[in-house]
Structure 1
Amino acid sequence: MRMRWEAFLSAVQERGEYPSRGEAQRVARVVLALLGAHLVGEVRAEVAARLPEAFALVLLNPLPAAEPLSPERFIRATAAWIEGATEQTATWDVSAVLSVVADSLGGDLLNRTLLQLPPGYDLLFGRPEPA
C-alpha cells in the first residue's frame, strides 16, 4: 500500500529531527534519487509503489549510476548533493529517509531491495543483519 505524503514526510522529519517539513522533503528527494539509481526492474517499481507519488517519480527517474556505490560512497554522494552537508550529517539524512522507506516496504520487499545493493546498506535502512 502506498504511503501517504504527509505520513512519509512527518516520519522523515521526526527521525531526522529536521526543523521544517521543507528540509525533510529536500533530503528525501536527494536520498531517493540516489537510491533509485541503484535499483532496477520489478524491485524498483515495487518500492516506488509504496512511496508517495511525488517521491515515487523521483525514485523511478534517477540519473543512472555508473557503478553501484558502497554505503560509504552513497553517503559521500548524498553529502555532495545537500548544501552544507558533511559525511556525518549525510549519514543521519540517509538513515532518516531509508529507515522510513524500510518501514513502508515490509520484510520480503526490503530483503529483495537489499539484494540489489552492495553489502552494508542494511545498516542505512536501520535493519542490521543478525550476526
Structure 2
Amino acid sequence: MQHDEFVGAVQHRADLASRGEAIRVTRATLTTLGERLQPGEASDLAGALPMEIDYFLQDAHSGELFDFDEFVSRVSQRAQAEQSDALFYAKVVVDVVAESVPDTELDDVTAQLPDAYDELFELVGEDSYY
C-alpha cells in the first residue's frame, strides 16, 4: 500500500474531514504503538509500511510499558481528540496497518501486548466501518 492510499483509507474509514487529520491520527496511533512495542518489533512493523508512515513507528522511544488506558490517553492527546474518538481512530489505523503488513507481523505485534489491548484490533478483518 502506498502513502496516499494508506492516508486515504484512514480518512475515509474514520470519516475525517481532511488528509491532515488522517495523518495526525495515524501519527498519534503509530507513535504511541511504537512506544509500547519492543524496539525490534516496532522496526519490523515499520518495514512493511509506506516510507512516510513507517517513520512514526521508528521515531518512537520503544520499549515502554503502559496499560491500554494510557495508550488511549496518549493517542487522544496527540490526535487532539476526545478519548472515545481517539480509540476509534486508533482502531481504524490499526486496521489499515493490518491490511498493509503480513499476517505474521501483526501476530508478532499482538503477542507483545497484554490482553487488554485486544480492543485495539477489533476492526481488523471487518468488512464494514462506522
* % identical equivalent positions: 31
Alignment match, 1:72: 69
**Structure 2 unpaired stretches of 5+:** 126-130
Moved more, 19-28 or 117-126: 117-126
Q: Contact between 2:94 and 2:124, CA under 8 Å: does it hold in 1?
A: no
Alignment match, 1:5: 3
Is 2:105 the counterpart of 1:116? no
Alignment match, 1:96: 92
Q: Contact between 1:68 and 1:117, CA under 8 Å: does it hold in 2?
A: no
Pick aligned residue for 2:46 from 42, 45, 48: 48
State the TM-score, normalized to the length of structure 1: 0.83
Q: How many residue pairs end up in the alignment? A: 124
In the TM superposition, residue 9 of structure 1 has moved relative to its aligned partner by 0.5
Question: What is the alpha-carbon distance in structure 1 between the residues aligned to residue 124 and residue 97 of structure 2?
Answer: 11
Alignment match, 2:18: 20
Question: What is the alpha-carbon distance in structure 2 between the residues aligned to residue 63 and residue 11 of structure 1?
Answer: 27
Q: Deviation digits for residues 28-77 of structure 1, max 9, x if unmatched?
A: 01111111112224422221111111221121111345x42222221111
Question: What is the alpha-carbon distance in structure 1 between the residues aligned to residue 82 and residue 9 of structure 2?
Answer: 22
Superposition misfits of 4+ residues, deviation over 3 angstroms: none
Moved more, 19-28 or 54-63: 54-63
Q: Deviation digits for residues 62-118 of structure 1, max 9, x if unmatched?
A: 1345x42222221111112222x1111111111111111112123211111111122
Counterpart AA for 1:23: E
Q: Contact between 1:36 and 1:58, CA under 8 Å: does it hold in 2?
A: yes
Question: What is the alpha-carbon distance in structure 2 between the residues aligned to residue 64 and residue 36 of structure 1?
Answer: 6
Q: Deviation digits for residues 16-37 of structure 1, max 9, x if unmatched?
A: 1101111101110111111111
Alignment match, 1:34: 32
Q: Contact between 1:27 and 1:82, CA under 8 Å: does it hold in 2?
A: yes
**Structure 1 unpaired stretches of 5+:** none
Question: What is the alpha-carbon distance in structure 2 between the residues aligned to residue 95 and residue 10 of structure 1?
Answer: 15
State the TM-score, normalized to the length of structure 2: 0.84
